[in-house]
Structure 1
Amino acid sequence: MVKRPTLTDLAHAAGVSIATVDRVINRRLPVSDDTAQRVVKAAERIGYHATSLLKRRIAETPVRKFGFLLQKRDAFYQNLGRELVQATKSAKEIEGKAILEFIEELVPAVVARRLRDIAPKVDALAVVAMDHPQINQAVDEIVARGKPVVTLLSQITTPSCKGHLGLDSRKCGRIAGWAISRMAKQEGRIGILVGSHRYLNQETSEISFRAYMREHAPQMQLLEPIINLDDERIAYEAVSGMLASYPDLAAIYVAGGGQDGLIKALRELTGQPRPVAVCNELTASTQAALIENVIDLALGTPVLPLALRTISHLTAACEEGRFTPQQTFLPPEIFVSENV
């Protein structure tokens, strides 16, 4: 009589522990999709009696672990991170697990290293990053190993990236131009701050802002953009310098981060008219600044819709042969003192 394969036989054939096989069968704890598939193939190979049950268990709800690599641990990214983690855990089509990490040092080599570090721990990855050869190379390597990577908020140019989700940056820039051309005095200089031109969303916002101002307020003089690395201290120094150098400064547009530095500099302003100010994101500090008329308009990211769409995108990207990379652009939210 042929001996029926046991659980021990299956574990040996699959090259995993008995506990791992038990987790696959009974779904006690998450098991990676690769490991679960290896157990199923081993079960088919040795004629394990519960092979059909194993297949059903795997088909029911796949376990997916998503990684999120966000930028500096400020209020906006903390909020975005919370929503991404919650959306992962709440997703109905998967048993989702999330790994959330922040990058304080936005040097391309550091970002590339952090990407390579987190990739082995997850099934798919979403990242906020600048467009740089070192980062693109890291993404290429990760995708080549079967781990989809998508970008959030700012795009990168490597073709291997499996999609992008963020704001419509062209609309952001033109909305800022629309607001400033109507609220600012009709002659004067306009200051512009960007985190880095390697953030393609910020580059697009600045270009679109300039295009709108050329069309609708050509009499206003736009200054060359100042790079602030999305750092509030650098932004504070930049805005303070502009205010001191240009008494006719009519407006300031912050196309990236560093809005807290803008707010601090404007709060300290005395002896000259306050310029119109447009910046990004509704946080506790920008909300207070809007209410107190320190700034005039904030363009916000709809964080919850972005998080939900990101999880759907990553889930689909994990389905081999059934996914086409795509870009999702959300309209910005508009906040003024009367709607916060």
Structure 2
Amino acid sequence: MSITPTMTDVAREAGVGVATVDRVINKRAAVKPATLQRVLEAAERIGFRRTNLIRRRAEEPAQGCRMGIILQKRSTQFYADLGEAIVTTATAHEYRNDNVRVVFLEELVPRQIIEQMHRLAQECDVLAIVAADHPLISQAIDQLSQQGIPVIALISDLTAEHCAGYVGLDYRKVGRMAAWTLTKLGPDSSKIGLMIGSHRYQNQEQNEMSFRAYLREFAPEVQVLETVISLEDIPLAKASTVEMLEMHPDLGAIYIAGGGIEGVCEALREYQLPQQLIVICMELTAATRVALADGTIDVVLSHPLELAAGRLLKAMKEATRHQGQGSLQHTLPFFTYTAANI
């Protein structure tokens, strides 16, 4: 027997075929309870690395998948809308035997996210998280993967070695689309403001980089100001916008590549602008829909929430069946909204 037991070793110890062990682990087909129990006992005896996963297979309902999804603040309208879309999608016929749990976190520090991940891992087969790319979170993902719990990155990709996949936009395209749009709308000034929530989020960092790269290549005369960090906090975003407007009275455009758009809109409505700014932001919500209608915002680039929810649940079920067989990538298209099509 090899030093690290394999599925072949489990099959030999249980007196079944390797295909049977594979069906147990990856849920490719139904296995009799007595056979599943034999596989579990054999895995326990020889110290098979994925014994915990086999144990959960023995305890879970037939064909059911327990999915845990960690979103960010419910008070952020985008995440409230995404959570609602996921819950609605989970009622579809194809998920009738599955258990989908959505959790919102108000504290976004790594420790809080990791604690919630471990709590959900006690009762779920697979997790999906929206989180900053932090070494401690990567470590937690790798630990859970070793325990047989795949973790999928949602909205913002993660660099953890054993991250099971990603469901979200191609932010290189998003950033370049925002920059292209600004060049076509033609701001009166060569100064452009840029605001993101945090560089810790891969999606926002890539969004910013691609935005700047496009303008360097196709509009080198445009000056993109130093990036403003909002921490996705509405009051901070408002104060930062006012400061930007006061320091740069010739500002021609603003791109909000992260959260805090409500604060930006408040500032723009209250501030006496010497000229009309071109404003582009992320995510169609109730607030940005109103801002498009009243002219505060010109363009919104947005996730397709229903499609995102469906792709996520599909990816999570795939991850439980194909764990350890590579990363599952589900790149979503994005929608472009203006006052003409809301």
Calculate the TM-score normalised by the size of structure 2.
0.80
- How many angstroms apart in 1 are the aligned matches of 2:165 and 2:120? 19
Matches within 5 A, 1:153-168: 153-168=155-170
Letter of the 2:66 counterpart: K
Q: Is the 8 A contact 1:186 1:220 kept in 2?
A: no
* Alignment correspondent of 2:253: 251
SS at 1:157 equivalent: coil
Do the aligned partners of residues 339 and 162 (structure 1) sit closer, same or farther apart at CA in structure 2, a change above 3 Å counting? Answer: same
* Alignment correspondent of 2:64: 63
Shift, 1:323, TM fit? 5.0
* Alignment correspondent of 1:319: 321
Q: Is the 8 A contact 1:186 1:219 kept in 2?
A: no
Do the aligned partners of residues 181 and 67 (structure 1) sit closer, same or farther apart at CA in structure 2, a change above 3 Å counting? Answer: same
- How many angstroms apart in 2 are the aligned matches of 1:114 and 1:43? 30
Shift, 1:143, TM fit? 1.3
- How many angstroms apart in 1 are the aligned matches of 2:158 and 2:235? 27
* Alignment correspondent of 1:192: 194
CA RMSD, Structure 1 to Structure 2 (Å): 2.5
- Give 1 or 2 for the bigger CA radius of gyration: 1
Task: Give the alignment partner of residue 271 of structure 2, picking from 269, 272, 275.
Answer: 269
For this pair of structures, how many residues does the alignment match? 295
Do the aligned partners of residues 244 and 324 (structure 1) sit closer, same or farther apart at CA in structure 2, a change above 3 Å counting? Answer: same
Deviates more, 1:75-84 or 1:195-204: 75-84
Identical residues among aligned pairs (%): 37
Letter of the 1:117 counterpart: R
SS at 2:98 equivalent: strand
* Alignment correspondent of 1:173: 175
- How many angstroms apart in 1 are the aligned matches of 2:131 and 2:287? 24
Q: Is the 8 A contact 1:66 1:88 kept in 2?
A: no
- How many angstroms apart in 2 are the aligned matches of 1:61 and 1:94? 12
Structure 1 unaligned residues grouped into runs of 5+: 1-32, 46-57
Do the aligned partners of residues 112 and 271 (structure 1) sit closer, same or farther apart at CA in structure 2, a change above 3 Å counting? Answer: same
- How many angstroms apart in 1 are the aligned matches of 2:286 and 2:36? 55
CA deviation string 1:152-180 (max 9, x = no partner) = 11011011010001011011101110111
SS at 2:122 equivalent: helix
Task: Give the alignment partner of residue 96 of structure 1, picking from 72, 86, 98.
Answer: 98
Residue 40 (str. 1) matches residue 34 (str. 2): yes
Calculate the TM-score normalised by the size of structure 1.
0.81
Do the aligned partners of residues 268 and 146 (structure 1) sit closer, same or farther apart at CA in structure 2, a change above 3 Å counting? Answer: same
Shift, 1:38, TM fit? 9.7
Q: Is the 8 A contact 2:301 2:335 kept in 1?
A: yes
- How many angstroms apart in 2 are the aligned matches of 1:115 and 1:59? 19
Letter of the 1:302 counterpart: P
CA deviation string 1:280-312 (max 9, x = no partner) = 111111001001110110001011111111111
Shift, 1:101, TM fit? 0.7
Letter of the 2:34 counterpart: V
